[in-house]
Every structure is written in C-alpha cells, then in structure tokens.
Amino acid sequence: MKIKYNKDMEPRAIKLSEIENLPQALALIEELLKLIEQQEERLRAFEEDNKRLGDQLNLDSHNSSNPPSKDKERKTRATKSLRQKSGRKAGGQKGHKGSTLEMSESPDKSYKHPISNCSACGKDLSMVAVSAVEKRQVFDLPPMKLEVTEHQAEIKNCPGCAHLNRGEFPPEARHQVQYGPRVKGLIVYLNQEQLIPYERTTQLFFDLFGQSLSQGSVLNANQECYKKLAPTEALIIREILKSGVVRFDETGFYEKTKRNWLHVASTPRWTYYFPHRKRGKEAMEAAAILPKFEGVAMHDHLKAYLSFLNCAHAFCNVHHLRELTRAFEQDGALWAREM
C-alpha cells in the first residue's frame, strides 16, 4: 500500500475507496492496535515491578519485620520508633515512690564519738550526762577477701577388724582445693546475667579478691549450673504449656562464627530459651513447646509458625504497626495512618 501525497509533498487524508488493499490495511491496523495494547500491559507490569522493587529497597525495621541489623543506613540514621511521645517530663513522675537510702534499725557496727571538753570555753565535760545523740549511718562494703574454710576428715583403724575408716567430706569439698558455691554463683552471675566475657570475668575476680581465676573455672561453673537447673527448665516448660497466650520469637546469634538461632517462648512470668542451628519448623519441633501447645501462639509473620495446627495463632501488633507504616509511607494509604 502506497502513501498518498498532495502537491506540496505532504501526506493527505485518504478515503477508504482509494486504498488498494483495504482488508490487508484493516488487518495491519488491528495488529498494530494489539501490539500497542501489549506494550501498554508490559509498561504497566514494568511500573508495578519497579514500584515493588523500590518498596523492597525502602523496607527497614520501622516499616517491616526486618531486624535493625539489616537496615541499610543503620550506622548513620537512628531507627524511627513507633512509640508516641507521652508528654511527660523526663525523670521521676509526681507520686512516684523513690528508692532513697534509709537508715537501718540494726547496723552491723556502731561507734560512739564522745565530747571531752566544751568547744566554746574548754570546760571538762567528761562527767556531764549526755542530753541527746545524733545518728548518721554509712553504707559500705566490707573488705573484699576470700574466706578459706578447711575441712578435716578423721581416719581411724578399727581395732576389731582392722578396717580403715574415713570421715565424709561435704559435697562442696570433693577435691583437695576448690572454689565454693558462692564463688561459683558469683562468676556465673557475672558471666551469664551481666554478660561479662570470660576474660573480663577472670580479670574482675582478680581485681576484687587478688586471686587468679582461669577461664576454664568459669566454664566449669557454667556447666555445673546448667546441670543443676534442669528441673527448673522442666518447670518453665510445663508452666508455659499451661498458659493461655504465649509469645514466640527467634533471633540470630553466632557460635564460633557460625549462624545459629535463639528461639524464645515467653509469658509475663516465664521465659524459655532454646538455641538451634535452624530458624524454622525443625527448630520449633526440637524445642518441644509449639507441637504440644494448645493455647494462642502470638508471633511474627514467619510461615513456619502457622504449620502448627494444634493451637490458635495471633500476629504481633508491633508487626501490624510496621505494615501499616509501610502502607502509608509507600502506598499513600491514609486509612493505614488512621489505624
């Protein structure tokens, strides 16, 4: 099909009767319209993908379930908190009962400070009766030193059968020299509860008591405490299984540079921790709480939780708030801000 031009060599309107092959032209137009429609569909798909990828790049801990450690600008920008300002002044609030140091009714030591002479005229006051006493107390630590207790077990030979008899030592004196239960309790508390590393725990012990403590002793104390807490751990699991609502979560940690996961099940009173190399269903089954729990499990949007059908499920409201924040900031959803 040829294009018709006027005398100025410009394209002019062509009547349908002038088209040499009208069916072919109509077919070509229809094909071009379909092509345009397909291109528009592809363009819309590209725009949607571009927005989706852009939204994913803008996800962080304030508008998604991503942890703060994954935030791209976490070194230069503080995480935006979802908490609202209370309007109250900083510090203790009106009516709040403080924790002021109060005098003890039974002090461990007491020293009297007598008056021998009048500070004005110098008269001897040693025989003058005391009219009143003013008291002040100083709370301080006694000298920090280790107390050594020696246990002596008697050894006797029976005159009748010549059997050698030995006295029994208490459980804390199993070896010739060892640390007692209070020392072990202190180093476990410092290392596990206060999260003081092994080397610094041994340094602190030496600074306080002047006695060298090996990191192996700290490890042994932790292992002994772990074994003795087995009944307590079993009690925590039983109480959590009896609870109506339990909060479940998991967070990553490293053991000898290898990625592991610390799983937690908690109520306002009980908390159970369970380390595992995996994050999902395999670890949850190994923890042995979710497979037996029949109450309401509250958790984030990790799909592995929903595979347990013996309990009801509730999503954590903190994650709801993050999703609503994303919907408002990225999609402009005003209803999300209102919610």
- Region 307-322: mean pLDDT is 92
pLDDT value for 38: 87
- pLDDT of 28 strictly over 70: yes
- pLDDT of 13 strictly over 60: no
pLDDT value for 252: 92
- Region 220-245: mean pLDDT is 96
Q: Give me the sign of the Cα torsion angle 80, 82, 87, 91.
A: negative
- Among 117, 97, 109, residue whose Cα is nearest residue 135: 109
pLDDT value for 12: 55
The pLDDT-based confidence of 250 (bands split at 50, 70, 90) is: very high
pLDDT value for 238: 97
Q: Which range, 34-38, 45-49, 181-185, is most confident?
A: 181-185
pLDDT value for 59: 73
What's the CA gap between 290 and 307, in Å, rounded?
10
pLDDT value for 228: 95
pLDDT value for 323: 86
Choice among 87-96, 252-261, 317-326 with the minimum mean pLDDT:
87-96
- Region 195-215: mean pLDDT is 95
pTM: 0.63
Q: Which residue has the higher pLDDT, 67 or 252?
A: 252
Each residue's pLDDT tens digit, 63-120? 677 766 667 665 555 556 666 676 777 766 776 676 788 999 999 999 999 999 999 9
What's the CA gap between 54 and 330, in Å, rounded?
9
What's the CA gap between 14 and 199, in Å, rounded?
93
The pLDDT-based confidence of 1 (bands split at 50, 70, 90) is: very low
What's the CA gap between 290 and 286, in Å, rounded?
9
Q: Are 253 and 261 in contact (CB under 8 A)?
A: yes
Q: How many residues in total does the chain contain?
A: 339
DSSP E strands: which ranges in the chain? Answer: 155-157, 164-166, 245-255, 258-266, 271-276, 296-299, 312-315
- Region 12-35: mean pLDDT is 72
Q: What does the mean pLDDT of the chain come to?
A: 87
- pLDDT of 235 strictly over 80: yes
Q: Which residue has the higher pLDDT, 211 or 15?
A: 211
- pLDDT of 269 strictly over 90: yes
Each residue's pLDDT tens digit, 122-158? 999 999 999 999 999 999 999 889 999 999 999 999 9
- pLDDT of 5 strictly over 60: no
Q: Are 206 and 213 in contact (CB under 8 A)?
A: yes
Q: Which residue has the higher pLDDT, 69 or 11?
A: 69
Angle between helix 230-242 and 215-228 (nearest 10): 50
